[in-house]
Amino acid sequence: MNMPSEEMLRVNDITLSYRVGDIDMPVLNGVSFTVEPGELFTLLGPSGCGKTSTLRSVAGLETPTSGEITIGGETVYSSSRKVQLAPNRRRLAMVFQSYAIWPHMTVAENVAFPLRRMRVDPPDRRRRVDEALGMVGLAGEGQRSATLLSGGQQQRVALARALVSNPRMILLDEPLSNLDAKLREQMRGEIRDLQRRSGTTAVFVTHDQAEALAMSDRIAVMDKGNIVEMGNPETLYLRPRKKFTAQFLGQALILPIDGLEQGSGTLQLRTRIGVVEALADTRVKNVAWMAARPEHLTVAVPGAQIPGGIPARVVRAQFTGSTIDLELDAGGVLFAAVARNDRKFAPGDEVTVSFDPSNIILLES
Amino acid sequence: MSVFGAVLLIVVGWLVVLPLGAVLLGAFRPSGLLLDPGLTLDNVRRVYFNSEIWSLAWTTARFALGSTFVGLIVGALFAWMIERTDVPLAGFFRGAFIAQMAVPPFLLAMGWTILLSPRSGLLNAIGAQVFGPGFTPFNIYSITGMIFVEGIALAPSAFLLLGPAFRNLDPNMEEAARMSGAGSLEVFRKVTLPLLAPALLGATIFLTIVSFVVFDVPGILGMPSRIWVLSSRIYSLAHESPNGLPDYGAISAIAMMFILALLIAAYIYQKIIRGSSRYVTVTGKSFRHRRTALGAWRLPVALLGSVYLFVCICLPILMVVLASLQPFMMRPSAAALTNLSLQNYAQIFGDAHIVRAMVNSFVIAGVTSFGVLVIAFACSWAISRSQLPGIVRRILDVFTLIPLAIPGIILGTALIYLYLALGFLGIYGTIWIIVIAHTTNYLSFGVRSINSVLSQMHPELEEAALVAGSDRANAVRAIIVPLAAPALVATWFWVFSHSIRELTQALMLQSVGNATLTTTLFGYWSSGEPNKAAAVGISLFAVVLLAVLAWAAATLRFRK
Ligand SMILES: Nc1ncnc2c1ncn2[C@@H]1O[C@H](COP(=O)(O)OP(=O)(O)OP(=O)(O)O)[C@@H](O)[C@H]1O
Ligand SMILES: [Mg+2]
C-alpha cells in the first residue's frame, strides 16, 4: 500500500494549530516540501514562524490538524486516512534545541539508549557507541557523567546519540543556537561533514541565515506558518523572488518600482532614487520591487564621477579590516554598501553609486 | 481518549467527586444519607435559620485567622533569621524547624494541657504557689489557648512555605534600591515586602484553609469547654447527638457552606501559587547569598530562637514524655521523679488490641503513601505531559485540588455515607475506608509536589526518548521516574508521616476492627487515662520523627 518513491520525506499541505485557552491559534497554514535522500534541508525563518512545529510534526511529537507526511514512502501521518504513527515507530533521530541529554546517565549510556530500544546485543552495542563517540570527537569519554560536560560536548553527545542508530533521517532543531560564536562556526562544519560522510538525510532548523547558507543543500524560507520560497543557497541569496526572502537573507537595498521600460533584454526601473538598469528575469512575474546587495554596489570615491551613477551622501563609514562598510543616503533613502578597504570615506562626502544590471534582483509583488 | 485517561478520571472521580456529591446532596435527604428516599429542605432550614451556625462560623473564622496569624509571624521570623541573617547555628535551627513537622498537633495540645490547664496545669500551679492560691492566669481550654497551640503547630508549615521565598530574594534588587538612595526601612517596605507578597499571601491562604478544617487542637482543647469550631461540631453531631443517632442531615447542611467557602479559598490559593512559582523560577540561580549582619544582636537573636524552641516545643513534649512514664498524673517533684517507670509502654505493647492498632496504622500509612504516589504521579504526568484532551487535563487538575478544601471530618462523614450505601463492597468499618480517606486527603499535596518537579524537567528529555524508540510508558520509566526519584521518595515520606499520625478521619471512620494508634490515643485521653495516651503518643512521635528525618534527607538530596 506504500508507493515506492524517490524522496525521503514528503510533507504535504500540513496545517497545525495550538489550543490556547478557548481559541485555536493557527501555527502552520499548509506547509509542503520534499527532501531527497542524503540531502541537508533547512527550514529557515524568524522566531515563531513555525519551524519547530513543522519539525515536531515530522517527528510525531505534534499531531497536525490536516495534511499528510510520508517518510521513505511510508505514510506516518495522514488526516484523511487517520494515520498517526507514534514517534518511536518512525525510525528517526532528533537533536533537540536543549540537547535533552539525560543527566542520570553517563555519556555512553545516553548514546547507547536508541540501540537498547532496538535490542542490539551488548558487544555490538559497545562497538557502535564507541564508533559514534569517535565520530563526534568524544572517544574515550564514555564513562563520564553527562552533567559534567560543557555545552559543546553535550551538543556532540546529542549528535552521537542521533547518529548511532543509523536513522533514515535526522532532525536538528537549532542545534547550534546555545553555543558561543566560535564553537558555532566549528560545529557547522563538523555537522555538515558528519552528515555527508554518513549519507544521512537531515532536516535542519535555524533562524540564523548565515548558518543556513553555509550548511544547506536546499533551504525553505518560512514566515508566519507558510513556506515563502525554496531553493539552493546561491539562488535564494542571489536571485530571490520574494521580498521577504531578500530581506531575511542578508542585507539589501529594497525599493518599490514606480515604473518600468522594456529594453532589449534589459529593464529600466524607475525608483525613488533614480533610474536603475536591470537584466530581465523571466522567472519573475509582476515585478514590483528591486533589490541590490551591498557588495554589488560600486561606490566611487568622493569627487570621482561615474556616468549613469546615482548621487548619494556618506552617513557613516566603518573600517572593518577587509572592507569598508558604508551607510549611504540617496534622496532620503538609507542603504548599506561595501567598498574596498584602500579607499577613504568620511561622513558627509558626496559620492556616486552605480549598479551592476546583472546583479539587480527583481521581486514579485 | 485513551484507556489511561479514562482510568484516571474514574479513579479521581471515585475518590473526590463521589464523596463530595454524597455530602452536598445528602443535605437534601431527610435522613442525610444520599441513597435514602425523600427530598427536603428541612436540614438546610434547621441549620441556617438558627443563630448557632453563625456563631459557629464566627468562632471557626476567629480560630482559623488567629492561628494563621500566630503561625505566620513565628514562621516568618524564623525564615528571616535562618535564611537572611548571619545568626549562629542556622543549620541547627533549620533542622529543628523541619523536625517539628514530626510533632503531631494533638501531642502538643496534650503537653500544653499538662502545663496550662486551669486547675492542675503546672504553670498555673507554680503561679498559685508563688503568688497565692488565687493566681491561675492561664486557661488552655479557651479560644486564645487554642489559637496559641494551633499557631505553634502551624509555624513549621509557614516556615517551609516562606523559606524558599526568603532564600530566593535576589539581593541585587535590594542593593539596587539602596544605590538609588532608599533607607533600610524604605527598602523593606518598597522592595522586600512586595517581593515576598505572593509567598506571604499564598502561605496565609494555605494556613487559613488548614486551620479551618483541623480537628486535633479544637478536639482536645475546645471540646471540654464546649468551644465549637466547624470540625469539632461535626464530630459532636456524629457522636453525641441527643437521640443517639448521628445527625447526618445537619452535618451535610453545615458542610455545604464551609465547602463552598473553602473551595473559593483553594481556587484563589491556586492562582497565587501559579503566579508566584513562575516568579521564583525567573529569579533564583546565580546570585550570591548576602545576609544581614546582626552584629551585637547575633547572640540575643539566637537565644530568643532557642528559648522559643525550648518553651513552645520541647517543654510540652517533655511533659508528655514525663506523663508517659508515670502511673498517673503527678506534679513534678523529687518524689514524682523517683516513680518513673516504663510500665505504660510495657502495658500498651503487651496489649493485643494496641499491637493490632499499631499494625493497622502502619498498613494504612504504607498503603496510603504508596497509593498517593502512584495516583498523584499519574495525574501529574497526565496534567502536564500527556496528549490527553485539554478538558480532561483541566478536570484532573481541578479534581485533585478539591480535597485540599474538604475538611477531613467532612470527608470522613462523606465516606461513611458512601460506603454504608455501598455496603456490598465490604469497605465500611475496615482499615480500607481509612486508606481511601487518607488517599483522597493527601492527593492534593502529592499532585502539587510532583507537579513542581515535572515542571522543572524539560519536556524534550522525555521526547528525546520517544524519538529514540521508546514508547510513552518506557520513556516515563527510563527517564522521568529516575530523574524525579528523590522528589518521589520525599513525597512518599511526607504522606507516610502525615497518614500515620492522622487523627480526624481515623476517628470519624472508627469501628471495631479498624482502630489505629491515633484513635487509641484519643480514646485513652478522653476516657481519663492520659498517661497511657501519652505513652502511645510518644511511640507514635518516635516513628514519625524517623520518617520526617528521612524525608528531610531525601529533600536535601533532591535540592542538590
Ligand atoms: N505548545 C504550544 N502552545 C501554544 N502555542 C505554541 C506552542 N508551541 C508553539 N506555539 C506558538 O506557535 C508558533 C510557532 O512556534 P514554533 O515553536 O514552531 O516557532 P519557531 O519557528 O520554532 O520559533 P523559534 O525560532 O523561536 O524556535 C509561535 O507563535 C508559538 O508561540
Ligand atoms: Mg523553535
pLDDT tens digits for A20-46?
Answer: 767 889 999 999 999 999 999 999 999
Better pLDDT: B341 or A50: A50
Report pLDDT digits (tens) over A52-106.
Answer: 999 999 999 999 999 999 999 999 999 999 999 999 989 999 999 888 888 888 9
Share of chain B above pLDDT 90, in %: 20
Identify whether B358 is part of a domain: yes
Residue nearest to ligand 1 atom 31, measured at CA: A48
Whether B482 and B346 map to the same domain: the answer is: yes
Residues B254 and B275 in one domain: yes
Q: Are B359 and B412 contained in the same domain?
A: yes
In a domain? residue B473: yes
* pLDDT at residue B72 in the model: 94
For residue B176, is pLDDT > 70?
Answer: no
Model pLDDT, residue B181: 64
Would you state the pLDDT for residue B555?
67
Residue A86, chain B, CB below 8 Å: the answer is: yes
Task: Please check whether residue B465 touches A, CB under 8 A.
Answer: yes
pLDDT at B273 (0 to 100): 65
Q: Which of A114, A107, A124 is nearest to A88 (CA)?
A: A114
**A212-A213-A217-A219 Cα dihedral, nearest 10 degrees:** 60
Q: Is pLDDT of B187 > 80? A: no
Which of B324, B339, B354 delimits the end of a domain? Answer: B339
Phi-psi category of residue B372: left, alpha or beta, with phi > 0 → left and psi -120 to 50 → alpha: alpha
Q: What is the mean pLDDT of residues B526-551?
A: 86
Ligand nearest to the CA of A43: 1
Mutate to test the pocket of ligand 1, among A22, A29, A51, A205 (most ligand atoms within 8 A of CB): A51
Tell me how far the alpha carbon of residue B86 is from its chain's centroid: 31
Q: Are residues B306 and B351 in the same domain?
A: no
Residue A313: closest CA among A349, A287, A274:
A349
Contacts of A88 in chain B (CB under 8 A): 466-471
User: What pLDDT score was predicted for residue B62?
Assistant: 95
Q: Is B421 a domain residue?
A: yes
- CA neighbours closer than 13 Å in the CB half-sphere of residue B387: 13
Same domain? For B235 and B325 the reply is yes
Task: Answer whether A52 contacts ligand 1 (Cβ < 6 A).
Answer: yes
Rounded to whole angstroms, the Cα distance separating B501 from B216 reads 11
Q: With an 8 Å Cβ cutoff, are A117 and B387 in contact? A: no
Whether residue B287 lies inside any domain: the answer is no
> Which residue pairs from A136-145 have beta carbons closer than 8 angstroms and sit at least 24 positions apart in sequence?
A136/A160, A136/A163, A136/A190, A136/A194, A137/A190, A138/A107, A141/A107, A142/A106, A142/A107, A142/A108, A142/A111, A143/A106, A143/A107, A143/A108, A144/A106, A144/A107, A145/A103, A145/A106, A145/A107
B257 pLDDT higher than 60: yes
Does ligand 1 lie within 6 Å of residue A23's CB atom?
A: no
Its domain, for residue B73, covers 43-281+296-339
Minimum mean pLDDT range among A122-136, B250-264, B285-299: B285-299
Both B396 and B322 in one domain: the answer is no
- A221-225, B183-187, B386-390: which range is least confident on average? B183-187
Q: Determine the Cα–Cα distance for residues B94 and B79; give it in Å rounded to an integer.
A: 9
Do B451 and B554 belong to one domain? yes
Give me the pLDDT at residue A202, please: 95
**pLDDT confidence band for B276 (50 / 70 / 90):** low
Quick check: B259 pLDDT over 90?
no
Same domain, B97 and B61: yes
Q: What is the pLDDT of residue B289?
A: 55
So what's the pLDDT on residue B288? Answer: 47
Query: Using one digit for the tens of pLDDT, what is the confidence trace for A43-65?
Result: 999 999 999 999 999 999 999 99
pLDDT of residue B182: 66
Residue of the CA atom closest to atom 17 of ligand 1: A52
Q: Do B102 and B18 share a domain, yes or no?
A: no
User: What's the whole-number mean pLDDT along residues A143-160?
Assistant: 86
Higher pLDDT, A285 or B529: B529
What stretch of H or E contains A261? strand A259-262
Q: Report yes or no: B560 at the A interface, CB cutoff 8 Å.
A: no
Average pLDDT value over all residues in chain B = 82
Give the closest ligand to the alpha carbon of residue A62. 1
pLDDT digits (tens, 9 = 90+) for B428-458: 888 999 999 999 999 988 888 888 778 778 8
| B73 close contact with A: CB closer than 8 A | no
> What is the count of structural domains for chain B?
2
Radius of gyration of chain B (CA): 25
Helix (H, G, I), strand (E, B) or coil at A279: strand
Q: Which residues of B touch A114 (CB under 8 A)?
A: 468-469
The answer, for A97 touching chain B at a CB cutoff of 8 Å, is yes
Whether residues B390 and B511 fall in one domain: yes
Which residue does chain A place closest to B468, by CA atoms?
A114
Rounded Cα distance, A200 and A213, in Å: 19
Q: Tens of pLDDT along B212-250?
A: 888 889 988 888 888 999 888 888 888 776 666 777 888
Q: How far apart are CA B549 and CA B547, in angstroms?
A: 6
Q: What is the pTM of this model?
A: 0.80
pLDDT over threshold 70, residue A192: yes
Ligand 1 centroid–CA A67 distance in Å is 19
Point out the residue among B387, B466, B479 whose CB comes nearest to the CB of A102.
B479
Kindly state whether A98 is in contact with chain B, defined as any CB-CB distance less than 8 angstroms: yes
Q: Identify any residues that bridge with A69 across adjacent strands, giving them in sequence order.
A: A11, A77
The answer to whether the CB atoms of A118 and B469 lie below 8 A apart is: yes
Query: Which range (A193-202, B75-84, B548-557) has the least confidence?
Result: B548-557
Give the pLDDT score at B552.
73
Q: What is the mean predicted confidence (pLDDT) over B352-379? A: 93
Q: Are B489 and B323 in contact (CB under 8 A)?
A: no
CA B550/CA B495 separation, integer angstroms: 12
Within-domain flag for B348: yes
Whether B286 is covered by a domain: the verdict is no
- The reply to whether residue A102 touches residue B471, judged by beta carbons under 8 angstroms, is no
Mean pLDDT of A148-177: 88
Q: Are residues B383 and B248 in the same domain?
A: no
Share of chain A above pLDDT 70, in %: 98
**Residue B499 is assigned to a structural domain of this protein:** yes
Q: Are residues B332 and B391 in the same domain?
A: no
Cβ–Cβ under 8 Å, residues A361 and A252:
yes
Would the CB of A46 count as within 6 Å of ligand 1? Answer: no
**C-alpha span between B331 and B270 (Å, rounded):** 48
Query: B461–A104: do the CB atoms touch at under 8 Å?
Result: no
Mean pLDDT of B391-408: 84
Q: What is the pLDDT of residue B150?
A: 94
Domain harbouring B137, CATH code: 1.10.3720.10
C-beta separation of B120 from B140 below 8 A: no
Pairing mode, if any, of strands A253-256 and A259-262?
unpaired
Helices B530-559 and B481-500: crossing angle in degrees, nearest 10, is 170
3-state secondary structure of A205: strand
| Residue B159 included in any domain | yes
Q: Which of A19, A98, A117 faces B458 most closely, judged by CB atoms?
A: A98
Å between B458 CA and nearest CA of chain A: 8
